[in-house]
Amino acid sequence: MLRPEWILIIATIMWGTSWVPLQAFAELGISGMPMVLASYGLIALFALPLIYRQRAAWWPQRWGLLGIILFGGWANASLLSSLSLAEDLVRVMLLFYLAPVWGVLGGWLLLRERITGLRLAALVLALIGIGVTLGVGRNTFSSMTSIDWLAVSAGLGFALNNLATRAADQVPMTSKTVAAFVGSALFAGLACLLFTERMPVLEVQVWLWIVVFAIAWLLLATLAAQYGVTHLPASKAAVLVVFELIAAVLSVAWLNDEPIGLRTWIGAGMVTLAAVMAGWPEQIPKTELARSTS
């Protein structure tokens, strides 16, 4: 059996290369929130009975589960939608990978976790890396598209989802895993209603491919990631998750027609290093260690 480290790496590579089938579906006529609704909606149909069956176990921490539905659902929906619509895929992944920045700030503001020098340096490095990629100037924010903001919000939702997952420590793993799928389907359905995006008419074969993608890609990648994160120290898991960004950048460089510019390569390297630094295990001061063991 594979070690948890390898299972988590495989999961992150699957997420990092998920743009390949998403762009293929876009060429077949379905992208954005309709694609999210079709794929996550299929899984949500099976997820709802599982969550209901475990209601007695998660009810005491129902607010934590609700947080996973809201934040995890939005993170998945906005990331998949932006990847299926984006032309600059590396830019989208880099904006999403501001998640470690939001995670450090969220832990400090909401959980009163101390910001170490290493994490502060990681935060600054990630912001500089994004600045290098986007090009810092007077029109930086005005030049960002709705797809860019979707990617940024996906990273923020992902960080908040991690905080909610930590708060819901007594909720069964099955409920925590599938709750985000339900949230993704709800957000995608709401977005389709608000922006009057109709589900396109697709051939039966395309729907079969969507079923395969939902089960064999999204569901398996999520389960593998949950297994790896659960069976590894948090610091080690945070470092290994960076393979998602590495897989995205390398796969785009290899498979996509658009070349990656030097600025993007530099920014990607800085954001990757920042993510590793943010997840690096903290050194406990000797005074605190002695106090805890006395």
pLDDT of res. 161: 83
Distance CA 237, CA 275 (A): 11
pLDDT of res. 193: 94
pLDDT of res. 186: 95
Contact 67, 161 (CB under 8 A): yes
Reported as a single tens digit per residue, the pLDDT across 168-214 is: 888 898 898 899 999 999 999 999 999 888 899 999 999 999 999 99
CA 86: distance to chain centroid? 16
Write out the two tokens for 96: 């999403």
Distance CA 244, CA 9 (A): 8
Contact 276, 239 (CB under 8 A): yes
pLDDT of res. 241: 74
3-state SS, residue 1 = coil
Write out the two tokens for 180: 């985000």
pLDDT of res. 293: 42
CA dihedral of residues 164, 179, 176, 102 (deg, nearest 10): -30
Print pLDDT tens along the chain (294 aa): 678 888 888 988 998 899 999 999 999 999 999 999 999 999 999 999 999 999 999 999 999 999 999 999 999 999 999 999 988 888 888 888 776 677 677 767 766 767 777 777 877 887 788 778 777 656 656 677 889 899 989 988 887 887 788 788 888 988 988 999 999 999 999 999 998 888 999 999 999 999 999 999 998 988 888 787 777 766 566 667 778 888 888 888 888 776 778 887 888 888 878 777 766 665 544 444 344 444
The residue extents of the domains of the chain are 4-113+135-233
Distance CA 106, CA 10 (A): 28
pLDDT of res. 290: 44
Phi, psi dihedrals of residue 171, rounded to the nearest 5°: -75, 135
pLDDT of res. 254: 85
In sequence order, what DSSP letters do the residues of 32-47 get, joined into one string? HHHHHHHHHHHHHHHH
pLDDT of res. 203: 93
Contact 171, 74 (CB under 8 A): no
Contact 106, 195 (CB under 8 A): no
**DSSP letter (8 states) at residue 171:** S
Residues 6+ apart with CB under 8 A from 292: none
